A and B are shown apart, each in its own frame.
Chain A
Amino acid sequence: MKQILIFILVLFTLQCGKDLSPFGGEPNVTPLPNRLKPEWPNPDWKVVTPESVGVKSEKLNLVEEYAFTRTGDETDRKGRRTDALVILRNGKLIYEKYARNFKEDKVHLTWSVSKSILQTMYGIAVKQGLIKLDDPGYYHYEPLSRDEAHKKITIRHLLNMSSGLAAEEGYESGPLKSSVIAMLYTRGRKDMGSFCADLPLRAEPGTQVYYSSCDTNILSAILKKVYGAEEYDKLPFEKIFKPLGITNVTFERDGSGTYVGSSYLYMTARDLAKIGYLYLNDGVWNGERLLPEGWVAFTRTPAPGYKTTPYSDDLSQDNYTAHWYANTGVPNRGIHEPWPDAPHDTFAAIGHWGQMLYVIPSLDLIVVRFGDDREKAFIKNDFLKLIKESVIR
């Protein structure tokens, strides 16, 4: 009996050491390469042949084959179901194709890609000096002052998906207890931010990464308080979409008029590529700095909470940074690059059911893919590998 107890104790101790050891070094976030001559889409992207910018058309055919070959039954919503694919190199459009009744001027639901554009709104607010990353959320948003634990949640924690709030981000897998479903469709829909701020804490803020739509909608509600309802209503349209020449866009709100930053932004593939191009150019658009210096570096840095997040197999698929994803992995933490066959510096905005915006600075590539995949048939790494292989110089 004594031996068994000692064995269990040793096992427990080993497990603790494995799970909670901080990772060794800083993540390797390479600086953005210097871009020689940005080609601003004014008002729209310049269309050129792939070869003129060093991409092989024959190889792009393989990308097309991967993305658009139907692999399952439409009525059962099986297989890869691509709706749009747009690829740009050196700021010029080299590939564009649509399916399933989508076309160039049709907006598409981006689901969680919306989160990354909400992050852009924070870049604007930080640049305007209205908010600081290490401000406790309750400075700006009263529902986060419910107790001392909630008062520790900062804007940075929320952007890093590390608020510690006990949300349950399950859609089809566990609808009963899913807080994201309750937030969007039932108990939270009237006021998503306050529903989310009311959740208890599962961890000390900042110490664990847990992907949560609640963190985003609290951020959205905070912005509403910071700007006031009237300014807030215009914020994404006037401060982001207008400068980028994006007019065909819808951003849905909850019952209290707060943007559903977690889920409900609708854009065209060409326009979403403009968001990617803003980040590729370090937050500068047409010579004007829209996002503060260092914002894109912040965007590409893995969330510090990974240092102390208990290890699970799902972690390597997340690789969350600050409301974006990066292909860095987390050194010495057992978290490998999520897309090992894509360039190391790839970063992305990713949404439910197959929405993707990839920015690949080292190849000067932007890729937007929209879809409606109801099962995991579209493998991001395989797709990105084909895109990388299409670049010849």
Chain B
Amino acid sequence: MNDDRLPRRRAGRIGRARIGSYLAAVVFAVPFLLPFYLLLRNSLMTQTELGALEWRWWPERIDLTGFTDAFANSSAPLGRALLNSALVAIVSAPVSTLLASMAGYAVARIRVAAARPVFLLVVATMMVPGAATFVPTFVVVGSLGGVNTLWGLIVPGLFNALAVLLFRGFYLRFPQEIEDAGRIDGLGHLGVYLRLALPNSAGLLAALGVLSFIEHWNSFLWPLVIGQDPALWTVQVAMSTNLTAQAINLPALFASAVVSVLPLALVFLVAQRWIVRGIMATGIKG
């Protein structure tokens, strides 16, 4: 907008640089989009076509047997796996986000002697991220009888220290005047949180909720470890089992991958604005 005020010579140079930027962006976009294209293309091809000698841009004829095979496969039932993944993600995303918001608010705004130690206790776990502790977590969940159970699959993933940190950052910026006004209206600490702070953090809740949904839908190591019974396989575990199997039905595998990515990609496309805005609201810039 301010470029209008620059000398013409410079404006011209910037204009040319901008065209270069667009060219570069298009060139870079190709490798980012190609894998999506291959995913879709391969799900519509036949096994023979996939093993062909020559590159094909498009399947000779659209073949949907991959999709029917994917759902008919009995060794790794796709329908059941999708259901499990949906259940895990739909429960985990709101619960883990809400837990983080509650704790984040408490350590940011409620002045009690425990606030600092509790905050440190939470942040310390961030340095020891989930995946590295899957063995001890498995041992604890196992001794509580959680192997091959839904709760064993879901509960250990509900406690997100990073989200607590982000919510704390957000609530620290929450205007004191609003809190004071709430107190004058007779709200207690919980009331201020529930009626004022929580609704005001809707943007961040949505952003972290979507990120958490994606994370749980895509998570692989923990479901692989804890759900040894095929009835508890998530869609990631089911696909991996087929990917590492002896005889692979490739079109079916690509078709199940399409089915697993599609809902998420749609959620993502709709919600990425919130994600971007939410990340900016946390003040991650530091």
Indicate whether A and B interact: no
Residues in A lying within 8 Å of B, measured CB to CB: none
